[in-house]
Amino acid sequence: MRKYKRVLLKVINFISIFILCRFLFKKFYKNSKEADYSYLYNKNETDIKACIFILCQNKDQEKLIKTIHELEDTFPHNYPYILLNDVPFTETFKTAISSAVRTRAHFGLIDKKYWSFPKGITKKDVGKNLIPGQFVLFNDRISYRHMCRFESGFFYNHPMLKPFDYYWRVEPGVGFHCKLQEDPFKFMRDNNKIYGYVISLIELKSTVPHLWETVKEFMRKYPQYIANPNSLDFLSHDNGKTWNLCHFWSNFEIADMRFFRSEKYETFFKFLDEKGGIYYERWGDAPIHSIAASLFLEPDKIHFFKNIGYTHWPVTYCPDDPLITPHCQCPEIIDEARDTCNRNLFRLQKKLYGIQN
């Protein structure tokens, strides 16, 4: 009997060691192997570590090709494209997009843990904290909430984006209307800008009923992260008591990912994520990015790209500047981008620095 017990103990020990080794292999060796995408940045093509970032699906092929052509017609460049999807791209899609770009296109997959419900939240929890009877855009689309969470807190740490400092977010179907006279990435780097946008607008109040109260709770808990000066005046007309719902429309962003990778932003996202508002309500990446940039950055780090004509249906921004308009061919405007929120930021920048940033 003792002999069998010794054999059994040896078997148990062997199995335990095997499981431990397998766990360590997955945790360290596999992860380090997946994270090695340093080759995606080629310093012989550009001295700026920047990329065009596109989150898309296979079904977006035709409208994405049109968008790429418009982008490259208005901004000829050598920056690589990083395309991510929550399911594998088809060979047809990869061939079509690779043929459409003038530079290089790289295709990646999002790990399921970054495109799924966070721990403790299930499908039945979706929308439970929304105000009954109010219309909430995309309320029935679980994938939309997964997208908002990924764009809010994970995209910048995807292994394929880690070799880069700057990104230009492009979405399938958007339009670009003005030939650029300067490289936006170079402008950002040389002028020490961190977050760039084109359109700012008012958030749908029904999607974020408790977001600002959560933000105020964060500010009380982590006052050390709040910049001085900051752009609270962009977000609020009463020194932060309430939110005016202004935000930068994040379907267009040119920004420095080192900001999102910083301790202050990562702490902010984790705080919001643990509250569950992306699912319990419908907090989007646009207000999350905008609030973070406004509170954690000094106002001169935020830049309005007035020279980039842009459409994300149904809203179009077309420059109204005699030095820029000759370079633009804007489409018929369905809904013109307004300056209501922009004026908040412009007034603040003029007050602090003497000029609009």
Residue linked to tokens 């409208």? 63
- What is the distance of C-alpha 207 from the center of its chain? 18
156, 260 in Cβ contact below 8 A? yes
- Tell me how far apart the alpha carbons of residues 344 and 357 are, in angstroms, rounded to a whole number: 12
Please indicate whether residue 217 is annotated as part of the active site. Answer: no
Q: What is the dihedral of CA 213, 244, 357, 154, to 10 degrees?
A: 40
- Tallying the residues shown for the chain, one arrives at 357
Q: Which two tokens stand for residue 327?
A: 């370079």
Q: Which two tokens stand for residue 74?
A: 């208005």
What backbone phi and psi angles, to 5 degrees, belong to 155?
A: -55, -40
User: E strands along the chain, which residues?
Assistant: 50-55, 81-85, 105-109, 166-170, 175-176, 195-197, 200-202, 246-248, 253-256, 302-304, 310-312, 315-317, 335-336
Catalytic residue among 45, 70, 72, 253: 253
Q: What is the DSSP string of 286-304?
A: HHHHHHHHHHHS-GGGEEE
Annotate 147-170 with three-state secondary structure. HHHHHHHCHHHCCCCCCCCEEEEE
- Tell me how far apart the alpha carbons of residues 110 and 222 are, in angstroms, rounded to a whole number: 31
231, 299 in Cβ contact below 8 A? yes
Q: CB atoms < 10 A from the CB of 86, how many?
A: 17
What backbone phi and psi angles, to 5 degrees, belong to 97?
A: -70, -40
Task: Point out the residues that are catalytic.
Answer: 253
